[in-house]
Structure formats: structure tokens, C-alpha cells
Structure 1
Amino acid sequence: MKRSNFLKTCFYSGLGLAMLPQYSFIQEQTLYTRDQLIGKGNPDIVGDSYTTRMHKDSLLWFKRMQAAAEKVGIRIESVSSYRSFERQKQIYEGKYDRYTAQGLSPEAALEKIIEYSTIPGTSRHHWGTDIDIIDANAPRPRNLLVPDHYHGNGPYCKLKDWMDEFAESFGFYEVFTDNPHRKGFAYEPWHFSYAPVSKPMLKAYREMDVKQLLRDMEIKGSKYFTDEFIERYISENILDINPDLL
């Protein structure tokens, strides 16, 4: 890396570290509505398209992070950001229909869905704080979000190395890590969350009756949400994440 580029990157990172602690305290004071927490309406969401819509503060710091990465030839591109309840429902039910059509039982279909996809009303993408990212300067593989692309000789390994070193300076943390003791969703090296907003939103989310929320879901397969399934889903898929985001 050229010295000038390195210094510029360090400047952006230092700026993030200097400003985030105070901002984080401010966010802890914010109250969130039920609709905001389950993806049914959030006035803080801004952006022009499916891939750029985010919580306004997440977007601000995402752009600052993008600018820093550009200095070293990495073009961070969001391929998924804010996701409404209805959009998550489409994704979830599309998979449910496909898996059951392939012959899986409803229970087995649910287990397969929650390897990577959330039940609507429980997605972190509902908050506008979470992004799935690639390096737009790298060759674009047919299937974008594959763990191997972010390691070794994968097209996004340079991006992953940079994010590991600098992302937290801008408030972004990997959510579903490769910790072998972690349960729930599979490893997602592309999924990052803007902690100064997502942490207080998770805190507010946990204060809701999530069990009842899931029991009341009018979505395909919901009649197979047993108490055991719900309790395990909350413990493993919602809460077994990077501890820095709890």
C-alpha cells in the first residue's frame, strides 16, 4: 500500500474512532416503535434503491467507510441493506414453497430456511443497520454471497481483510462470525451491522414479547413453530451473534 493511501485510510479510521463513542451514547437514548423493530415502517430509512436504503446514520457512516476503502482500491458495494417485513416474507415463503415442493416436510423446510434466512419480523435488515457487501472492483462471480469468495484467493478476500482491520473504526461489525462455538445462522463474512444503532435496536427488540410475535405470525409454516423451535430460534438465530453487537 502506498504511504499516502495508508495515511488517508488511517485518517478516516481515526475520525471514526473519535466520533463513535459519543454518538453511541446518544443512540442509547432513542426509543423505537414496534413497527420499526419488525420492518413495518421506519421514518429514519433513507436511500434510493433496495441496495442503498439504510437507516440515515448507518448510511452516513457507510459512505465514510466507502470513501476510506476507495483510497486503497476497494469499492464497497451493498447488495442488500434495508428489508421490509413484506420483502422478508417474500424471501421466506419463496424458500418454504421451494423446499416443500422438493419433498421436505414443513419442519425440515423450516430448519433449512433458517440456515441463512430469517423469519419475517425477526430480521436485522428490518432496522436499516445491516448490510451485505461485496467489492465492486473485483471480478463478479455468478453467486455473490459465498463464504469462500471472502478468503484465500477469493475475489473479495482483499475486501474482507480491509474490513477486519478497519470496519469497526466506522462502527460496522461482522454479525455471524466463524466462531466454531456459535450456533444459529451459518457464517456470513459479507454481513456487517452498524453497531451504534443496531445495538440499542436489539435491546429494544428483546424487550418485546418475541415469543408471542412468532406465535402470531400469519405466514406459511407458522403452525409448525413449536415452543421448542421458537425458544431455540431466539437463542441461536437472534442472539448467538458477535458479542460486540449485544
Structure 2
Amino acid sequence: MSLFNGASAFVALVLISACFPGCGRADDTTLFGGIQAREYLRGRFSPAEHPLFVELSSMGIPTDGRQQYLRREAAEAFLALYKSFRESHPHTPFRVVSATRTWADQKWIWENKWSGATPVDGTRLNEAYPGALGRAKIILRYSSMPGTSRHHWGTDLDLNELYNEYYDRGDGAILYQWMKINAGRFGFCQPYTAGRTAGYQEERWHWSYVPLSAGFLSRWETLFGASPAAFTADALFQGAVEAGHLAIIYVNAVNEACK
């Protein structure tokens, strides 16, 4: 998938080169809204109270009925994408079902799967996988450890339905084919494509605003990549000690067009 073309390429590259990777080292107040980089990148803040975030439905972007937040830059670009999609597909379902998640949100997802409270493919993982590392790898097929999710950054969102088969036919296929062709014009890419050799499984519903997320990825790697436990040092979750060394693999194993 081609990420950018024409004028969009120039604008996006200017944004990235002007900001990253050095951006934030000198002026974290501007980039992260007064929050320390290590806290922001792990989702340890409230997007509803953050000055750089906006609620999507207030801008006219349809959601699943819950309040969903993105960075303003990402939201404005996504609104333009949505309007363009609607011009050619006025009746095809299109909604954001997940956007920014906090550390606490991700911890809830992770620990419910870890404990067996949320079965995975009908299986209670605490019973089927007594070993911590094996259990973590099953969860990591589709769910991130707290502190490692791209959804912490305010740049990533999920659309419509969270299973790949939906996008094989009907409305799902219409949406996915349009996104593959057109999302790059607005700065968005699909981080978890098919055919990668490591990391999460394919996620056709997940899209990321590259002019911000590429730099956030680089900064996460700088802050936490050298030490497997660095991102959990002051905020542990179940399985962190046993599986923390996998974090950098899953954070970095994305579509090259998203870097």
C-alpha cells in the first residue's frame, strides 16, 4: 500500500521531519501536552482532560456510541478521510469503535484475558496455559501489554468490526478496499498487515495516523527498547515480569509504511 502521494506526501514529510525523531526531546511540553514522554507513550493520562485531544463524535465522526478520543491533528485528518469516503459510499457502515486507550483500559483487557475472565476463542487461558510466557503469547496475538499499545498515543483507531472475515465481503470489503487505496492520502496506514514475520496478527480494522505515530514509535523504542522491563518498572501488570522482554518485538513489528 502506498502511504502518501502528491501534495499529501510533501505535507506529511514536512510534519515528520520538522518534529521527529528529535521532537519532544527539546520540547515535550508542546509534543505531549505537559506530560512526561514516558507517561504519555504508556497511556498514563486521561484523553478526556488532555488539551491536545478531541472527542470524535463532537467533530461529526461516527462512533459506536461511546466517547472516543484522538489527537486533534489525527482527528482532523480522519474527518477529511471520512467525508471523502462518504462521497462515494453514502450508505456503507463506517464508525470508530475504539480510539485512544489508557494504561488502565489496556490493563483491564490484558488481565481479564490473563485470568480467564474473558475467554479467548472460547478458552480460559489460565486453565489452558498455566505457564506465563505461553499464556502471554496467546494474548499477544491480538491484544497488547499495558504500556505498549499504539492506542495509547492518540493516533490509532479501530473501525466497524474487530475480526478480519468481516472485511472479506459486503460492506466490510467495500470499506477495506477503499481504505487500502485511499487512507494514505490522509496520512493513515494499516500497522498490522498480513505477511509480517513477527508481532500481532493481521488487523484490517486498525489504522494509524503516521505523521504523529511514526515519531511516537521511535520515541517509545528509545525510552523502553533497551530494557525489557523499563516500561513496567513502576506499574506492573500480571505477566509483566515473565513476558516483558517481548514488548519491543511487538511494538516494532509493524508495516514498514507505518514507520
Q: What's the TM-score bracket when you normalise by the shorter of the two chains?
A: 0.7 to 0.9
Letter in 2 for 1:222: A
In 2: Cα distance, 1:40 partner to 1:242 partner = 26
Tell me by how many angstroms 1:191 deviates.
Answer: 0.6
Tell me by how many angstroms 1:65 deviates.
Answer: 0.4
Match of 1:20 among 2, 12, 24: 12
Tell me by how many angstroms 1:121 deviates.
Answer: 0.5
Q: 1:48 to 1:133 in 2, by over 3 A?
A: closer
Tell me by how many angstroms 1:245 deviates.
Answer: 1.7
Instruction: Confirm or deny that 1:185 pairs with 2:200.
Output: yes
Instruction: Confirm or deny that 1:45 pairs with 2:61.
Output: no
CA contact (8 A) 2:164 2:203 kept: yes
**Other-structure match for 1:234:** 248
Q: 1:60 to 1:27 in 2, by over 3 A?
A: farther
Instruction: Confirm or deny that 1:92 pairs with 2:110.
Output: yes
CA contact (8 A) 2:221 2:248 kept: no
Q: Deviations over 1:178-218 (max 9, x none)?
A: 12x42110000111110000011111111113423245241
Structure-to-structure mapping, 1:70-89, within 5 angstroms: 70-73=86-89, 74=92, 76-89=94-107
CA contact (8 A) 2:43 2:101 kept: yes
Other structure's SS at 1:208 match: helix
Instruction: Confirm or deny that 1:132 pairs with 2:174.
Output: no
CA contact (8 A) 1:176 1:187 kept: yes
**Other-structure match for 1:102:** 127
**Other-structure match for 1:209:** 224
Q: Deviations over 1:140-170 (max 9, x none)?
A: xxxx21111112x243100011011110000
Q: Unmatched 5+ residue regions in structure 1?
A: 1-12, 135-143
Letter in 1 for 2:213: S
Number of matched pairs: 218
Other structure's SS at 2:19 match: helix
**Other-structure match for 1:36:** 40
In 1: Cα distance, 2:8 partner to 2:247 partner = 34
In 2: Cα distance, 1:102 partner to 1:222 partner = 19
In 1: Cα distance, 2:125 partner to 2:182 partner = 42
Q: Which runs of at least 4 in structure 1 moved beyond 6 Å after TM superposition?
A: none
In 2: Cα distance, 1:25 partner to 1:36 partner = 21
CA contact (8 A) 2:148 2:247 kept: no
Structure-to-structure mapping, 1:3-18, within 5 angstroms: 16-17=8-9
Other structure's SS at 1:193 match: strand
Tell me by how many angstroms 1:14 deviates.
Answer: 6.5
Q: 1:36 to 1:214 in 2, by over 3 A?
A: closer
| TM-score, normalised via structure 1 length | 0.80
Letter in 2 for 1:102: E
Letter in 2 for 1:147: N
In 1: Cα distance, 2:52 partner to 2:212 partner = 11
C-alpha RMSD over aligned residues: 2.2
Letter in 1 for 2:94: I
Letter in 1 for 2:134: A
In 2: Cα distance, 1:51 partner to 1:130 partner = 15
Letter in 2 for 1:66: Y
Q: 1:94 to 1:45 in 2, by over 3 A?
A: same
Tell me by how many angstroms 1:16 deviates.
Answer: 4.1
In 2: Cα distance, 1:240 partner to 1:75 partner = 30
